[in-house]
Every structure is written in C-alpha cells, then in structure tokens.
Structure 1
Amino acid sequence: MTIAMDYERVFEIGAVFRAENSYTHRHLCEFTGLDVEMVIKRHYSEVMDIVDRLFVTIFDGLNERCKKELELVRKQYPFEPLKYKPLRLTFEEGVKMLKDAGMEVDPLGDLNTEAERKLGQLVLDKYGTEFYILHRYPLAVRPFYTMPCYDDPLYSYSFDVFIRGEEIISGAQRIHVPELLAERAQACGIDVYKISTYMDSFRYGVLQHGGFGVGLERVVMLFCGLKNIRQASLFPRDPHRLSP
C-alpha cells in the first residue's frame, strides 16, 4: 500500500507475532522481522539483486567487525565459518539436482525440510556456497498475491533464500492488478470481501513491485551454526513460553 503512495522503496524492522503451533528448532511465536518492498522497473530479479548485495554486505561486515564476538560464540558453540557468495538456481534446477541424487520430489510441489537440507548440501558440494537463492517456485505453493510467471503460469515470480540448507527469506513479485488479484484470491478459496481494503489500494494504479521478509533470529542462528533458534533470541517466545 505504501508503494501505491509513490514510495519506490520501503522497509521496516520490528517485532513479528505468529500464532502457530510450530514446535521446531527454527520457529518462534515472536521474532524480529526485516520486511522490504520495492518498485520493479523491468524484472523481479531486481529484488533478488537487493538480497544478494544486502546479505553479502552483512556477512562481510560481521566477519570484519565482529571477530571477537564470533570467537566467543565459537568457543561455546563451535561452528565453521559460513561459506557464501551470490548464487541463484531455479526451482526446476533444484528439483533436478535432488532427483539426480536419488530423491523423490514433486516438480510442482513444495520442498520439505529433508529436501531443503539435502539441496543445501548438494549446492555446497557443487558451487562451494551455503548461501543461495532458489526462485521460480510453483504457483500452487505460494500465497495468492504472488505474480504468476508470464511465460508459464504453473510457476511464479517468487523465491526463497537459504543458509546451510534452511530457509531465511521468502520473497516475490506481488500482483498489482486488482482483477488478477481477485481471480487468484478466489482460486485459493479466499473471500475477496475480507481483503477489499488491500485490493482497493491498487485500483487507481500502482507500479509493479516486489519484496521479501527476513527472520533475523534465524539468520543469526544459521550464520553462527547454532542448533536452536532460541539460542539466538534474548527472550524466546514459543507455544510453551510466554515469560519472562
């Protein structure tokens, strides 16, 4: 909605609350989120360009300016320094790598945790990086507001970003045409009336745009090779812990 107000790039960093019964090593009910939205001038790869530059800069900065802090963490929780460089693979390329390695994968479905971890190892072995972007996900596994690919409506202009075989970011080009947004919402079983305020913000025209959301505790956990996201949160909140 802010993009529709003619702000070409916006971001926020703040608390995110999710009422999910997620009992895993990488989920919290409250975490710090970095959310970015930006105008796309030609192609949704512009959003991924921001991701590449942002996180390589963050990782370089941590390694250069936080050596003492990282060494303190390493003494208590030994870990290997993160191997990283910009790398993009399409979802189809990722599926092929997994199938070549003997895994059964639905080419139009989502990757489960096991497949994500396996792909992370395959990418490390082949490309020498533990940080990469997987893009052009099947449309059926993405939110209703994700833009379908113009050249193949079975796929979408969307992406996930991984560190050490675990997702840290989901992003995509958003649908900015109200008629298409309504069509996709109905196809996904969503009552258009309940999202009318959101849709109305696009009725007077808005530039094509995209963005992404980052869970910062998960980034810390994976950068430092920690085993549980609760080790990366000062006051972790999960389905069993509200206080302190």
Structure 2
Amino acid sequence: MAEAAAPARGRLAAAGAAQRLMTLSRENSMPEPREKKDRRGPRAKALLVQRAPWQPASAGAEFATALAEDLRELISALGLSLLGSPGGVSGPQIRAVVESTRDPLLVFFSDVPALPPLSVEGALDSLKDYGAVLGPCADGSLYLLGLGPELDEKLKVALLEAALVSPGEALSVATDLLCDDEAGCGVLPPWFRIARDTDLRFAENLVRLSLLSDEGDDDVVCDRLRLWFEQTEADALPS
C-alpha cells in the first residue's frame, strides 16, 4: 500500500507546485499599458544537460543517443546556439556554463523525448517577461528550464541542481525557490520524460501517431527515436 501511495503523493505535490507557480506567474504579469516593452532582446542560448533516461536492459547506448540527437536537431532547427559538448554536459561543466552565460538560457534534459517545438518557442517568448520558465512533468520533474540573464546566479544553479539531483521533486523545489525569491516565472504546458517503462510505451505511441498527421514533423521532433523503435521491433522478429 505504501508503494502504491508514493506515486499518488508525488502527483499531488506536483499539482500543488503547479498551482502555486500559476499564482506566481499571474502576480508578476500585470500589464504596462503606457510603456512598450522591447520584445527583441538578446538571442537565447541552449544547454543540453545529461540526465539518464529509464531504458530496458537490452537497449544499450543507442537509445540515449537517439534522444539526445533529436534534441540537438530541435535546438538547431530553432536557430539556438548550443553551449558545451554536443553530447550534453554534466557535473561541474553545468555550473561553469550557467555562470559564464549572460544571455537567456534554455536548459534541455537528455531524458526528454519528442519535445514539441511550440513548447520551446513558448519558453523563448516567456523569457522576455520572466526571469525563469519551467516546463513541468506530471511526475514532479522538469522537462525544460528557462533562465533569464537577470536571474540571480545562485538561484540559477539551485534550480538546475533541483532538476538533476532529485528529478521527481524538482517542480516542488523550484516552486519554493522562486516563491521565496519572489521571482517572476512562466509556466509551459506539461510534457514528460522517460522515467519508467510506461513512459517509454507512451513515447512509442506518440511517435507512431506523429506519422499519421501531416503536421507530425512540426508537432514533435523524433526522427532518431522513431528509427530506434523500428530497429528494436525488427531485432525482436524471429530470424
């Protein structure tokens, strides 16, 4: 019973954090009718951070590689400059990149599949109004993190550490940090990461459905993941 209750508590915590974030977003979004904002601003940079996805024991390194390659394709298609290693950064490299960047920064996580371009574009737009942008997952983690140049450096690092050290609690921790700092925050539509076997099955169905839509390639970026699923299915066939 305790094991069954744990995911439910996690979902409730994530829901509570999301509600607090929406309040924080509304409180910091009062219109300024007499003063036009400069909507141009500096072009955002991108950072791909390594966060290991759940995968079957037989998957090998090809699965994680497919996820990372799809994210790099998305970053390139949106015209963002990728900082750090193309394969993703980890450990002390993350802090070094964050502290040295003076432009808006979008942090992508390597366990996130088929990320919709519209979510990334929404994050870019929100960074023009807010110091931080969170992309929440239903399991309490984050799939995307936007950091504005005016956001306190220590807060940036704390938000990233929350997303990596305890992913399932990241949304709740990030909400507390932003509320304590009274920082404005934009909230993106929910997405998901590959944290368990059910997430992998969901991703597979999503990839298959994208083939049935004329706009499938625009809705999600998942060419490498689709090839991985196809190869896995082919390998499972009797010889």
Instruction: Please identify which structure carries the higher helix content.
Output: 2
Q: TM-score, normalised by structure 2?
A: 0.29
Instruction: Please identify which structure carries the higher strand content.
Output: 1
